[in-house]
Amino acid sequence: VKGVLLDIKPHLKQGAIIYIMPGQGGVDFIVKEVLGEECRSGKVSVAGIIPMPLNCRIEEFGKKVQLKAFKASYDLAAIPARDAPKCAFALSELLAGRPVHPIGNYVGIALHASNPNIHPGRLYGLFGDYKPGKIYPENPLFYETWNDKSSEWCQKISDERVKIWKTICEKVPGTGEPNQVPGLKQYIESIYAGQIHNTSTLSTVFNTNDGFKGFGSPMKKEGDGWVPDFQSRYFTEDFPEGFCMYKGIADLVGVETPTIDLILTHFQNLMGKEYIKNGKLAGKDVGETKSPQRFGIKSLADLLRDGLPTEMVPKEEPPKPRRRFSKTYSANICICGAGNAAHVFIPYFSDLGYDVSVFAGFKDEAARLKAAYEANGGIEIVDGCDPENIRTYKHSPVVCSNNAADSIPDADYVIIALPSFAVKGVLLDIKPHLKQGAIIFIMPGQGGVDFIVKEVLGEECRSGKVSVAGIIPMPLNCRIEEFGKKCQLKAFKASYDLAAIPARDAPKCAFALSELLAGRPVHPIGNYVGIALHASNPNIHPGRLYGLFGDYKPGMVYPENPMFYETWDDKSSEWCQKISDERVKIWKTICEKVPGTGEPNQVPGLKQYIESIYAGQIHNTSTLSTVFNTN
């Protein structure tokens, strides 16, 4: 990669995006070394991709190639990190709309579930007993003969790898989300969706996987048998470029990795190398690796330097949210309704430079809102998104009306942040006035709003006139302090999931929403059913209520009204977990029965989901109960 970057550097055009596939192996350090100034200045963006998009082979050089398949989905991180949503959208467009998920920091790509997790674990399962002089009777197929012994080692590596990333997310809130670095089985299932005949165990996702057929083990003939070939790329690439990366990051984060240490020590001795010494990545051959230590990285802060949350970056002046896209993007937003979210969005988007209008068709809501903000000189927002830099600002909408014809025709983005029962009436009101290419965001996106959208705007969506996207979770933690005059914005959620009608527009809608929300990650889901089955209030509230009132019978009286979340107990968690397991199983079964609908990991378990959207706000993430009662 370094040689190519040096060659192309003088000739790159303004705004170019460079995709590196696969994106592991320390290429982020090389990019910063060669193209650091170009990335910092905004001249170019560089994105690393996981997994390698293609299963293919050259049949005749320069003349013929066999393309077996594209992977089902991809993860991506960018330099600079703020450009990840833009790069993800562009790659999705290039690859016919396949889902591309942006990861918050490039370290998430370095710790991802790919060959450095797969190959060393499998090799230790095959050759953990190897000593020079030992001869094996045959060369087994690497994947078809995959056994539980190999799975056990791979799972241990996966657990340590995920723990490293989770610890980073806990230590430095805002770096990324725990679920952005997946476990190994979940990852293989998602990228080989439709090619695995048996997904019941980690072993079967490898040994019944059509995408892994026909590969021998990295061995060479010796006498009448076979021995490991330590010159194979399974050893010469996966260990120094990937496995050592896991270990190097773990050392910087302070996470113990006994399995990685064991396997790395075993094979480095056989390879004639010294990567690990006294339990640390500090051996004499570290300079041959692609680990952070090879590039002089000595701390977690240095490792995360691009994309660091504000509290770890020296500030010359308080940061202010700003529009991050060029003016070629439209900037007219219409907010529907006058509730909590509208009170935030009006001044928030106005402060970012958008033209904001309001359509509030319920009774005299528009007139009351307008009278209040005009008397106050605008809606004042106390923006506490950064607790160390609370900002107060005040803005008014350009238009506020109970007639959709006054507010909707110029809107490039329409935000409906209302209860699901109110959505149909709003859609009927705005339908005649929607402009070509408008995107309608419904927040939250559950409650059957997809069926309502198809009923009211079916033709508009089919024809491509508009796109409608449902969002989970509700983006804001906020409350009105005085109607039309003042509101408190406590926080935005850390990330969002989105599904669209038509489904093909999900990447476009996700990119647009991420731009509107200052680059926060927005993950497109393949089908709207994934939003309906998502981990939100319908999972949380019924389970908690049954924990509280499962013994209730008419006439029963409780001595007190407990705090709903602060008193959350394991009994309530047990019911919520059972709901979560059934909900996830429904989605997984859909993905298995109808390959291409989506990926199993797009509908998360409850604990994983709460941890991701409340990153940095939970004091104890050890159990499902604590993610609620310490949140």
How far, in Å, CA of 198 to CA of 204, rounded? 6
Which tens digits make up the pLDDT trace of 337-373? Answer: 999 999 999 999 999 889 999 999 999 999 999 999 9
Read off the pLDDT of each residue in 202-220 and give the average, rounded to a whole number: 93
How far, in Å, CA of 154 to CA of 93, rounded? 34
Higher per-residue confidence, 557 vs 170: 557
Q: How many domains does the chain have?
A: 4
Higher per-residue confidence, 524 vs 20: 20
Structural Rg of the chain based on CA atoms = 26
Q: Buried b / exposed e across 2-12, counting CB within 10 Å, b at 16+?
A: eeebeeeeeee
Asked whether residue 391 carries a pLDDT value surpassing 80, the answer given is: yes
Which tens digits make up the pLDDT trace of 448-475? Answer: 999 999 999 999 999 999 999 999 988 8
| Residue 324's pLDDT band (cuts 50, 70, 90) | very low
Read off the pLDDT of each residue in 328-336 and give the average, rounded to a whole number: 76
Asked whether residue 198 carries a pLDDT value surpassing 80, the answer given is: yes
How far, in Å, CA of 473 to CA of 523, rounded? 12
Read off the pLDDT of each residue in 111-120 and give the average, rounded to a whole number: 93
Cα dihedral 385, 390, 396, 398 sign? negative
Q: Is residue 532 assigned to a domain?
A: no
The 8-class DSSP code of residue 136 comes to B
How far, in Å, CA of 602 to CA of 30, rounded? 32
| Residue 177's pLDDT band (cuts 50, 70, 90) | confident
Asked whether residue 417 carries a pLDDT value surpassing 90, the answer given is: yes
Structural domain boundaries enclosing 454? 332-522
We report the CATH number of the domain holding residue 10 as 3.40.50.720
Are 522 and 531 a contacting pair, CB within 8 Å? no
Indicate the range of 3-17, 62-76, 131-145, 234-248 predicted with least confidence: 62-76
pLDDT at 369: 96
**423 and 296 fall within a common domain:** no
Which tens digits make up the pLDDT trace of 64-98? Answer: 998 877 887 888 999 988 888 889 888 988 988 78
**512 and 564 fall within a common domain:** no
**465 and 423 fall within a common domain:** yes
Q: What token pair was written down for 115?
A: 């060959």
**Under 8 Å CB-to-CB from 338, ≥6 apart: which residues?**
358, 360, 362, 365, 366, 368, 369, 483, 484
We report the CATH number of the domain holding residue 162 as 1.10.1040.10
Share of the chain above pLDDT 90, in %: 65
Mean pLDDT (the chain, rounded): 90
Indicate the range of 64-73, 292-301, 349-358, 602-611 predicted with least confidence: 64-73
Q: Which of 75, 102, 129 is the last residue of a domain?
A: 102
Q: Is residue 529 assigned to a domain?
A: no
